[in-house]
Amino acid sequence: MFVAIGIVVLLVMVFGGFMLAGGAMGPVLKAAPLEFMIIGGAALGATLIGNSMHAIKLLGGGLGKVFKGPKYTHEDHIDAIALTSKLMKLLRSEGAVALESHVTEPGSSTIFSEYPRLQSDPVVTGMICDPLTLLVVSSGTLDTHAVEEVIDSAIKTQLHEMSEPEHMIQSLADALPALGIVAAVLGIIKTMGAINEPPEILGKMIGSALVGTFLGVLLAYGFASPLGARLKQINSHDQQIFYSIKQVIIASLHGYPQPLVLEAARSGLPPAHRPKLTDLLDMMRGR
């Protein structure tokens, strides 16, 4: 919602201010389609040259996330803590054999089924089930620090993939002003080829050429750079769910009491999504 509002405000203020200052929109509107074709086409081509199809798909998903907002809600963060805590409690109380069916087949697990949104998310289920499967096959004898290293590696890999669209959008933001100059230079070349035309015609041609520079800068600093910054904020919010899962697993393996386990996971969440410890304790007690 705020992204759409921001775009409207940006366009109204830029072009509204231009018109109030006495500027005519006619030359801008006349030149804009071809300038967009040059700048946008060059940006698209450069993106295709520099990235794989997988990265292009990630970019599309990243742009969609900018408009939809964070993937994980306040309830998802709480549910991830509760779900992982229940699995670790089962491991401590009944052993690896009781846990095995839940982590090897989360789609049919009665514990996972209590949290259908997380159960249908392969990233979250993988982040929970993979290290717990290691514990199951090793009968719970793995060193806690080794498990932590495995989880850290999985989180690092996931964050790298999440950050790819951010870098691609920022690369576009860096390139767009230069591509705008390319469009402007082509316009100047066209103008120089008509140097014998009257001044009023040359003025219009130069003005059209300068629209390319204007659009390149506007697209870079008014659209691409803010979109990249917003995506970075969203990813920073979403990645906290992975750290919550890690904290529950590692704190439980260290043998900490459940209130401390829940506090270790809860304290890492952003303030806006951090539940009260008492609420988490009540949830675990089934209240």
- For residue 225, being part of any structural domain is answered with yes
Q: Write out the two tokens for 287.
A: 């209240």
- For residue 179, being part of any structural domain is answered with yes
Burial of 101 (0-12, 13-18, 19+ CB in 10 A): middle
The b-or-e profile of 192-218 (16+ CB within 10 A means b, else e) is eeeeeeeeeeeebbebbbbbbbbbbeb
Q: Write out the two tokens for 278.
A: 């008492």
- For residue 22, being part of any structural domain is answered with no
Residue 286's pLDDT band, with cuts at 50, 70 and 90, is low
- Is the confidence at residue 272, as pLDDT, over 80? no
In angstroms, rounded to a whole number, what is the distance separating the alpha carbons of residues 209 and 43? 18
In angstroms, rounded to a whole number, what is the distance separating the alpha carbons of residues 114 and 150? 27
Residue type, 44: L
- Is the confidence at residue 44, as pLDDT, over 90? yes
180: how many CB neighbours lie within 10 A of its CB? Answer: 25
- For residue 28, being part of any structural domain is answered with no
Averaged pLDDT, 62-70: 91
Per-residue model confidence as pLDDT tens digits over 74-121: 889 889 999 999 999 898 888 888 888 999 999 999 999 999 999 999
State the chain's mean pLDDT as an integer: 89
The pLDDT of residue 140: 60
148: how many CB neighbours lie within 10 A of its CB? Answer: 16
The pLDDT of residue 270: 78
Q: What is the pTM of this model?
A: 0.86
The pLDDT of residue 17: 92
User: Which candidate, 116, 117, 148, places its Cα nearest to that of 131?
Assistant: 148
Q: Write out the two tokens for 219.
A: 């697209």
The pLDDT of residue 157: 94
Averaged pLDDT, 8-33: 90
Which H helix or E strand runs over 261?
A: helix 258-266
Range(s) of the domain holding residue 229: 1-6+36-287
Per-residue model confidence as pLDDT tens digits over 110-149: 999 999 999 999 999 999 999 999 988 887 677 888 999 9
- For residue 206, being part of any structural domain is answered with yes
- Is the confidence at residue 287, as pLDDT, over 60? no
Sign of the CA dihedral with 108 first, then 110, 113, and 119 last? negative
Per-residue model confidence as pLDDT tens digits over 206-222: 888 889 899 999 999 99
Alpha helix locations (H) across the chain?
2-20, 25-50, 53-68, 74-94, 96-104, 116-119, 122-137, 144-192, 199-218, 225-238, 240-253, 258-266, 277-284
Residue 45's pLDDT band, with cuts at 50, 70 and 90, is very high
Which residues fall within 8 angstroms of residue 262, CB to CB, at 6 or more apart? 81, 85, 248, 277, 280, 281, 284
- For residue 23, being part of any structural domain is answered with no
| Total tally of structural domains belonging to the chain | 1
- For residue 228, being part of any structural domain is answered with yes
- For residue 236, being part of any structural domain is answered with yes
Q: Give percent of the chain with pLDDT exceeding 90.
A: 54
- Is the confidence at residue 231, as pLDDT, over 90? yes
